[in-house]
Structure 1
């Protein structure tokens, strides 16, 4: 008999524990940490360029979106457009945080697949179900990331708007935002290890919804780390390692394997 699965606060703490388990693994295998930094650094460069361009042209976007203000007094028109430009850039920052993991995993799929495999080997190995050629694996990862991004936007954009509501926007919304972003970070980071076990996208979501507490504990802590400048880059290898350990030990050890992941 295995240890009983803890729900609620205990399960949340278990998720946090797996972040530190991942950190411990890369600390014992520093070569894998450097190996996993490569795609994260590439993604960082792309995101910095994108944010610089967004900041440069946010004013032009605001002007394009508010042609109705052309006849307003200069002070009122400029105030509106400056505020809208700031909102556009802030939304870009929020989306950069919640999409960085998906972009990094898509860019570095071969790197993180290999890193995750090495974690599995270090812990005793696992039987691979439905192994796909690299090109099909990358295409499927991109497709799943786009679908996950759609779900993220469904929650993130309304929460971003609610953030401007007094009191609620400064209390409830940040907590909900961290929970939503954290859950979907876990969705992305656990995909490699779950696919190795033959779980398709719908099955992976079902597994995480059935045991939300560790998924939230793991993802919320990483979300907070990723908010720190360069935190996402430094922590990505440990996040992949921790997610692999969590899938192996907590999320899927008792699930029957139903076949290759095609959905």
Structure 2
């Protein structure tokens, strides 16, 4: 539980960092707004056409009685929409980060510079097109993993009791883990850390990662909240990435600050 609380603390610290640096906030909102409009359109379309889709996918049920047919297809529509929401929550960050790559890279660098003892930030040294390609490639790899988990959880949703209790909890944990991976990738990719190593690093502190990602996933279920939390989430993920890697930190007001991955104070060095 201590690790879980440490992860939530990073989420709060990221939002607090944004309140101290208001100029960066407005810029960080734009990509989220664009992505939100796209996702809302897709979900509205799914909701509108879900009846026709479920009927097309289950022709074997056409001969059932009206009561059982309505109940069966109603449950399938609910599960379909729940799966769509699950995927939307998980992929929203990846798509927003891809759309706003230059904005969030700049934001993450500012966070790094504010916490670095010498005021510098790691740079990938790669051209923007190359960075976009790596980000898109890794996002697809993560999405494949998420889809595998999503299909498995979707199938387990039909299990009585377990499908209505354990499965939703596991779904939020999976969403929270991969959501955090996408957010920390902004800072870790600049440091040349590949996806496989990033996943290994996050799994080594799974409880802390869930403490960051699960509350954020739950918050993202509230309409429009994701857009306003996104800049602070990028900032918090950058702070967490620094401490996961054991990089010394000072706070952005000149005092010693930062926390290591255990939640204890990290020793700051002076330039």
Alignment TM-score, normalising by the size of structure 2: 0.84
- Give 1:216's aligned residue: 210
Q: Distance in 2 between matches of 1:234 and 1:159?
A: 29
Alignment of 1:234-245 (within 5 A): 234-245=228-239
2:98 and 2:132 in contact (8 A); partners too: yes
Residue 10 (str. 1) matches residue 2 (str. 2): yes
- Match of residue 171, structure 2, among 167, 177, 189: 177
Structure 1 residue runs without a partner (length 5+):
1-8, 255-263
Q: Secondary structure at the match of 1:171?
A: helix
Residue 97 (str. 1) matches residue 89 (str. 2): yes
Q: Quick one: structure 1 residues 175 and 78, their matched pair in 2 at CA, closer, same or farther if it must change by over 3 Å?
A: closer
- Match of residue 31, structure 1, among 23, 35, 43: 23
Q: Which moved more, 1:232-241 or 1:149-158?
A: 149-158
Q: Secondary structure at the match of 2:247?
A: coil
- Match of residue 155, structure 1, among 140, 149, 152: 149
Cα deviation, 1:22-51, whole Å, max 9, x if unaligned, reads 011001112211111100011100000001
- Match of residue 108, structure 1, among 97, 100, 103: 100
Q: Distance in 1 between matches of 2:177 and 2:185?
A: 13
Q: Distance in 2 between matches of 1:190 and 1:164?
A: 34
- Report deviation, 1:126: 4.3
Q: Quick one: structure 1 residues 111 and 225, their matched pair in 2 at CA, closer, same or farther if it must change by over 3 Å?
A: same
- Give 2:240's aligned residue: 246
- Match of residue 20, structure 1, among 4, 12, 17: 12
Structure 1 vs Structure 2 CA RMSD: 2.0
2:179 and 2:217 in contact (8 A); partners too: yes
Alignment of 1:248-263 (within 5 A): 248-253=242-247
1:181 and 1:223 in contact (8 A); partners too: yes
Q: Quick one: structure 1 residues 82 and 200, their matched pair in 2 at CA, closer, same or farther if it must change by over 3 Å?
A: same
Q: Distance in 2 between matches of 1:148 and 1:246?
A: 20
Q: Which runs of 4+ in 1 moved over 4 A?
A: 71-79
Q: Distance in 1 between matches of 2:107 and 2:247?
A: 20
Q: Distance in 2 between matches of 1:122 and 1:148?
A: 30
Structure 2 residue runs without a partner (length 5+):
249-271
1:19 and 1:238 in contact (8 A); partners too: yes
Q: Distance in 1 between matches of 2:191 and 2:128?
A: 16
Alignment TM-score, normalising by the size of structure 1: 0.86
Q: Secondary structure at the match of 1:228?
A: coil
Q: Which moved more, 1:142-151 or 1:89-98?
A: 89-98
Q: Distance in 1 between matches of 2:165 and 2:60?
A: 34
Q: Quick one: structure 1 residues 43 and 215, their matched pair in 2 at CA, closer, same or farther if it must change by over 3 Å?
A: same
1:127 and 1:197 in contact (8 A); partners too: no
- Give 1:225's aligned residue: 219
Q: Secondary structure at the match of 1:198?
A: coil
1:211 and 1:251 in contact (8 A); partners too: no
- Report deviation, 1:170: 3.3
1:183 and 1:219 in contact (8 A); partners too: yes
